[in-house]
Amino acid sequence: MPYDELLTLALDAAQQAAEILRSGFGHAVADVGTKSSPTDMVSAMDRAAEARISQVLAEHRPFDAVTGEEGTATAGTSGVRWVVDPLDGTTNYLMGIPAYSVSIAVEVDGSVVGGVVVDPSRDETWAAVRGGGASCNGRPLRLDGSECPELATALIATGFSYLPQRRAEQAAVLTRLLPEIRDIRRFGSAALDLCWVAGGRFDGYYEWGVNEWDVAAGQLIATEAGAESTTLAGGGPMNGAVLATRPGLLGPLRTLLLHSGVASPT
């Protein structure tokens, strides 16, 4: 199956959804609700973007499966599955903060083979095909590990849970991490965080409690750009963590997080 064709469809669907989001950004959004907690918001714009993506995919590939953050769950028979986050960074979007994205990954037989993340605020489209490299607005991306040789000079991104107890645990991790790195950044879109690792804006990224639609596309883009990536599992806040760094930094960051006492290796 030509993965490039799947990527082209993902690009089309993501860009159409991004246009919907762009047209509504900065305006009052109707029908705002919550999901996992009172601070985990969902809006009519999330749903409209996901509906457009689902429509585009159904028109071109009606036998594929689709899993969307806002409830789309179409069973397929083709062996292809689309993993969709129509608006990663909903809180930013609703508050008028220009840090949000559309993320679409495509799997074939359970393996992610293509990914697209569109950043409407910066007019940036990040994309990757497994084995074919990554790009931003068509410009190939390739990381050089020599640009950040040690953890002490690394700029690291992360994200936080919407659940109060888990946020407290994550704050405790930061007390161990911050003295050992250059600084921390938290922008609120896991998909963009991974893309910004791919583009060299961040030296590394970690976050736990993420869902597959948050990271599936971004993680492929990062690894195809040359980033190193892995996961951590264990009790406490590190359950289900994803890590991605410049070449050479994954081991030190992983070790530091493990030494926080809340994680164990997979």
State the average pLDDT over residues 241-250: 93
Q: What pLDDT was estimated at residue 14? A: 98
* Separation between Cα atoms, residue 108 and residue 83, nearest integer Å: 11
CA torsion 51-101-195-190 (nearest 10°) is -90
Using the predicted structure, report yes or no on whether residue 176 has a pLDDT greater than 50: yes
Are 136 and 230 within one domain?
no
The position carrying tokens 């492929």 is: 220
Using the predicted structure, report yes or no on whether residue 178 has a pLDDT greater than 90: yes
Q: Band of the pLDDT at 41, cuts 50, 70, 90?
A: very low
Instruction: Give the domain CATH number at 151.
Output: 3.40.190.80
**How does DSSP assign 145-214, residue by residue?**
GGGS-SGGG-EEEE---SSHHHHHHHHHHHHHHGGGSSEEE--S-HHHHHHHHHTTS-SEEEESS--HHH
Q: What pLDDT was estimated at residue 32? A: 54
- Of the residues 99, 114, 141, the one at which a domain ends: 141
Are 137 and 154 within one domain?
no
Q: What pLDDT was estimated at residue 38? A: 47
Q: What pLDDT was estimated at residue 39? A: 41
> How many domains does the structure of the chain reveal?
2
In the chain, how long is the greatest CA-to-CA distance? 52
Are 214 and 242 within one domain?
yes
* Separation between Cα atoms, residue 157 and residue 143, nearest integer Å: 17
Q: What pLDDT was estimated at residue 251? A: 92
Q: What pLDDT was estimated at residue 40? A: 45
Are 188 and 171 within one domain?
yes
What type of residue sits at position 119? D
Residue range of the domain that includes 256: 145-265
The answer to whether residues 138 and 116 touch, using CB atoms and an 8 Å cutoff, is no
Q: What pLDDT was estimated at residue 30? A: 54
Q: What pLDDT was estimated at residue 222? A: 98
Of the given ranges (90-94, 132-136, 147-151), which has the lowest mean pLDDT?
Answer: 147-151
Q: Band of the pLDDT at 240, cuts 50, 70, 90?
A: low
Q: What pLDDT was estimated at residue 148? A: 66
Are 135 and 154 within one domain?
no
Using the predicted structure, report yes or no on whether residue 238 has a pLDDT greater than 60: no
- Of the residues 112, 141, 170, the one at which a domain ends: 141
Instruction: Give the domain CATH number at 86.
Output: 3.30.540.10
Are 13 and 122 within one domain?
yes
Pair of tokens at residue 106? 């495509």
The answer to whether residues 193 and 224 touch, using CB atoms and an 8 Å cutoff, is no
Are 105 and 183 within one domain?
no
Q: What pLDDT was estimated at residue 235? A: 44
Summary mean pLDDT of the chain: 88
What pTM was computed for the model?
0.91
* Separation between Cα atoms, residue 148 and residue 30, nearest integer Å: 44
State the average pLDDT over residues 230-247: 72
Q: Band of the pLDDT at 31, cuts 50, 70, 90?
A: low
